[in-house]
Amino acid sequence: MSDGAVVRLDGSAAHYLLNVLRVKPGSPVKLCDNQTGEWLAEVADVAKRDVSLRVTALLRPREPVPDIWLLAAPVKKARLDMVVEKACELGVALYRPVITRRTIVERTNMDRLRAQMVEAAEQCARTALPEIVDAVKLADMLKDWPTNRTLYFADEEGGVPLAEVAKPGPAALLVGPEGGFDADERAAIKALPQAVAVSLGPRILRAETAAIAGLSIWMAVAGDWVAQPSR
């Protein structure tokens, strides 16, 4: 996107502008392209099902995003929607469903999850949209694991507190299904040199809570939740 460019919107975005915001030619609109940042635009033309916008100024560059992935076994629809929404709000760089032996929900609607991500980003005025990748089986994910990325996995049988071992750099948080990882899966994960078994506290957490709690801990210790100095 660049100053002076004309952008045409249709589908749900146009429906929202036309029927909810009821924009007219000259109305100001904020746009985000997930590449360069947030832009100010004005409505150039409206039609029955689409809107043309003229970009006028860059408001904010695209925000830097800590290199943290969320790899979580999918749970039931409403809970999964919450995980995806909160992962976006917390600043995750990538989300990917991971299929384990005890995963109950093995098919996920990726288009719906992407829509959840977009809505969460819009609500929180984010300029960076997390990448969302198709589901993968746990064994396949481990086989192709990048050598430079730490894999923190929430081990229900116990591990080092995440707050004590979280460190900056390429990382991922792996959260299993509500039934947890089985013994063979746990052994396979621990055999990965980059894997670190971690604890998320003394209480038993549901799968969706573990994902949100783990991301929050990592962001606070190794991410970009840095306290601003007082003036």
Which pLDDT score, from 0 to 100, does residue 3 have? 81
**Chain segment 161-215, per-residue pLDDT in tens:** 999 999 999 999 999 998 899 999 999 999 999 999 999 999 989 999 999 999 9
> What is the longest distance spanned by two Cα atoms in the chain?
62
35 within domain boundaries: yes
55 and 134 assigned to the same domain: no
Which pLDDT score, from 0 to 100, does residue 146 have? 96
Q: How far is CA 87 from CA 129, 145, 147, 192, in A?
A: 11, 21, 24, 25
Which pLDDT score, from 0 to 100, does residue 230 have? 45
Of 61, 82, 104, at which residue does a domain stop?
Answer: 61
228 within domain boundaries: no
Q: Is the pLDDT of residue 228 over 60?
A: no
Q: Is residue 68 classed as helix, strand or coil in its secondary structure? A: strand
Which pLDDT score, from 0 to 100, does residue 229 have? 45
128 within domain boundaries: yes
The CATH number given to whatever domain includes residue 147 is 3.40.1280.10
Which pLDDT score, from 0 to 100, does residue 218 have? 97
The CATH number given to whatever domain includes residue 18 is 2.40.240.20
Structural domains of the chain, count: 2
Give residue 103's domain range: 68-221
140 and 101 assigned to the same domain: yes
Q: What is the mean pLDDT of residues 139-147?
A: 96
**Chain segment 38-86, per-residue pLDDT in tens:** 999 999 999 888 999 999 999 999 999 999 999 999 988 889 999 999 9
Q: Which of 219, 220, 230 is nearest to 91 (CA)?
A: 219
Of 29, 46, 61, at which residue does a domain stop?
Answer: 61
Task: Check residues 125 and 217 and name the one with the higher pLDDT.
Answer: 217
Which pLDDT score, from 0 to 100, does residue 227 have? 58
In whole numbers, what is the pLDDT of the chain averaged over residues? Answer: 91
Q: What are phi and psi of 103, to 5 degrees?
A: -65, 125
Q: What is the mean pLDDT of residues 157-161?
A: 91
